Structure 1
Amino acid sequence: MFAPSLNIFAVLTAFFGIYLGFHEAIKGIILNVLSRIIDVEKINPLVLTLGICTFIVITLVIWVSFRVSVLVFFQLGSPLYGIVSCIIPFFLIYKVTQLEKLRGLKTWLILLYGILLCLSPLLKLID
């Protein structure tokens, strides 16, 4: 009896969670880039929010109209995830002296996983 409404609310909750996270990430990137050019106080937050919302909606409409699979998105996004989550921390551990205690075999395995994540789109071409 409650299953359909529960499913709808679960999908909406997941969508809005991802939407808000993506919105904040894009807002942070835009503010970071614009702060190098103009003063942050001169940026109208309403215009920024509406611009980001418009960008997200247009991107989603294009995504749905081309019927791109979510799995393709994961495969194309995996190099970014591998760089940010595996390769950059590996180099930080070996460059920052305060992180010396973390060096070892596990760190090299993290680098290996990062490299595999970066190569995964190429492995898709072999399929």
Structure 2
Amino acid sequence: MAIPHKTSQDVTFQGYFIKEGTTVLPLLTSVLQDESEWETPYTFNPSHFLDKEGKFIRRDAFMPFSAGRRVCLGESLAKMELFLFFTFLLQRFRFSAPPGVTEDELDLTPAVGFTLSPSPHELCAVRRQ
């Protein structure tokens, strides 16, 4: 899990000495901004997850549920719930920028804090017929 941990012994990691008992804060978002992993790491870009034919590809650098032994136990449930939620919305609504605003003018830059949250912005949801 991406929660604080303490080192159980002295360790040298990538040339840095870390003393026993040091609190370590894993920063999983750092891999999301790694220019060696992503074509446009600072931009919302769904094509990061699509191959040339437009089919989904899994990217090891994307770790929203942590990694390794301490991966989130609710990952499968969360993915299923998100799929159902967004499928419901996309089947029933068409989403667009508000009148007078182009898609390029929408600011999708996340607000950095304890979590990454999108900045507030207006969006139109029109019920499908």
Q: State the TM-score, normalized to the length of structure 1.
A: 0.28
Query: Which one has a larger percent strand, Structure 1 or Structure 2?
Result: 2
Q: Which has the higher contact order (CA 8 A, sep 6+)?
A: 1
